[in-house]
Amino acid sequence: MSGGEEDETTLEFTPTWVVAAVCTVIVAISLAMERLLHFAGKKLKRKNQKPLFEALLKVKEELMLLGFISLLLTVFQNVISKICVPEGVTRHMLPCKREEGEHEESTSNATTAHFQSSFAPAIFGRARRLLSEVEASSTGYCAKKNKVPLLSTEALHHLHIFIFVLAIVHVTFCVLTVLFAGARIRQWKRWEDEIAKQNYDTHQVLKAKTVTHVHQHAFIKEHFRGIGKNSAMLGWMQSFLKQFYASVTKSDYVTLRLGFIMTHCRGNLKFNFHKYMMRALEDDFKKVVGISWYLWIFVVIFLLLNVNGWHTYFWIAFLPFILLLAVGTKLEHVISQLAHEVAERHVAIEGDLVVQPSDAHFWFGRPRIVLFLIHFILFQNSFEIGFFFWIWVQYSFDSCIMGQVRFIVPRLIIGVFIQVFCSYSTLPLYAIVTQMGTTFKKSIFDEHVQAGLVGWAEKVKKKKGKGAGSGQGSSHESSKVGIQMGAALRKAATQEEIQAAPAGSEGSK
């Protein structure tokens, strides 16, 4: 069989054992991945890790979205490749400068040849031949009109691979970041255990006769008596530097913990703040691991601005870097503000030093903005790293899209720094400081209590709707549900005390 005939081989003249073998491999890999995700979900359910299970469902949703995008690109590739435009339109805003007389087809063939020689020549060679047939058809179709295809089949195929790589890299990096940050936060558990072992009585703490000299307290010394006491600019500078060497100290943890408890669960000083913080972080993880619509808009804008000579991929790498440092500085500054509030009002207080959580310390009075920024930082960093490896594999390291080495090295260093620093400092800081808002998160309750509260809230809405004409009956039902909710809150507090009791009794022994 000649080379030309081999290129035109279709499924009609392909041996059945080849078709069966390829289908078997593809189906086996797909089923293995599905079973792996299913097994992971069952394991998380057995361990009552509902937030992580929901995060896994979010990953499945992203994979389903990828599958749908892949289906659309495959089904409409012929339609897209036959959209014809004047040749002059395709000569503007190019990622690479086109040399005089150079044809896009030769570049496409060269880059694809590199990709084939690096990974699975047989498989990708066959795919390349199929793409070439479609592309030749679309090119001939547009050539008859003295025009060129809007997007070649080869470019569409590369875009297809890029979207898949981006999603996989983002999910992987988010999982690694949260795992490493969780390991960092678990180091604080020894502080929680030390507090539990003290086994102090609630009334003794509330009515303690001991006097605390505020300016001698370790928390105040760290955040108020330093270089930023009398200067706002120096205070911000101190917050900026502190995120690098001691983002959260023992005095920070103990003071913020007590401030949260005295504000949100005053009657339960044995509340396990560390456990609550971990549950809240797991809840936030399911939001971070997804790719929201505004992140896809960012991808489109970047692809639009990736023009030869602009070095967009280099300058945009500084965006998550600057945002990461800004978020860490703000979170440290919130801790400093809490210390300043107490130190400026009191010289000595009766009992322990207690800070007052408030949303006013956060940007626009909304602590959730910090989570939004962290989500964007992680995605943008994943985008940078994923784009780098995609270009490397698809077009080679020497590709004009990759750029010069002096632009590549800083970009990679920034990406690694963001990944490590976010896990080690910023995300743990977020986990504890965002608890210093005016309200608490639903993670303060166990799952069955959360479900009960949601059910009661729905009942109240239904009763209000039905009892709109009879105000007395509606108010009676609302007060009844309110009593039930109060009982549930007291039950949750009691359960936390029971869980904390073994640690306290062990310490008393």
Chain segment 138-190, per-residue pLDDT in tens? 567 788 888 888 888 888 888 888 888 888 888 888 888 888 888 888 889 88
Helix/strand/coil percent split, the chain, to 5: 75, 0, 20
Question: Is 114 a residue whose pLDDT tops 60?
Answer: no
The tokens for 25 are 């491999």
Tokens, residue 460: 């109240």
Quote the pLDDT of residue 321.
93
Provide, rounded to the nearest whole percent, the portion of the chain with pLDDT above 70: 72
pLDDT cut 90: percent of the chain above it: 6
340 vs 234: CA distance, rounded Å: 14
**Res. 332 pLDDT band, cuts 50 70 90:** very high
The pLDDT score that the predictor gives to residue 92 is 78
Q: How far apart are the first and last CA of the chain?
A: 87
Query: Helices 368-395 and 405-421 sit at what angle, rounded to 10 degrees?
Result: 140
What is the rounded CA–CA span in Å between residue 85 and residue 151?
10
How big is the chain by its Cα radius of gyration, in Å? Answer: 30
List pLDDT tens digits, range 232-253. 788 888 889 888 988 888 888 9
**Amino acid 505: pLDDT:** 40
pLDDT at 293 over 50: yes
Tell me how far CA of residue 171 lies from CA of 65, 178, 289, 376, 473, in angstroms: 13, 11, 6, 13, 51
CA-closest candidate to residue 236, choices 333, 331, 327: 333
Q: Based on the number of CB atoms within 10 Å of its own CB, is 138 exposed (0-12), middle (13-18) or buried (19 or more)? A: buried
Q: What angle do CA 48, 53, 54 make, to 5 degrees?
A: 125
pTM score: 0.73
* pLDDT tens digits, one per residue of 453-506: 555 556 666 666 665 545 444 444 444 545 555 555 555 545 554 444 444 443
- Going by pLDDT thresholds of 50, 70 and 90, the confidence category of residue 127 is very low
What's the average model confidence in pLDDT over 205-209?
50
Angle CA(321)–CA(324)–CA(330) in degrees, nearest 5?
A: 140
Backbone angles phi, psi at 476, to 5 degrees: -65, -45
In terms of pLDDT, which residue wins out, 197 or 417?
Answer: 417
The arithmetic mean of pLDDT across residues 431-449, rounded, is 74
- Per-residue confidence (pLDDT) for residue 326, from 0 to 100: 94
Q: Tell me: pLDDT of 432 over 70.
A: yes
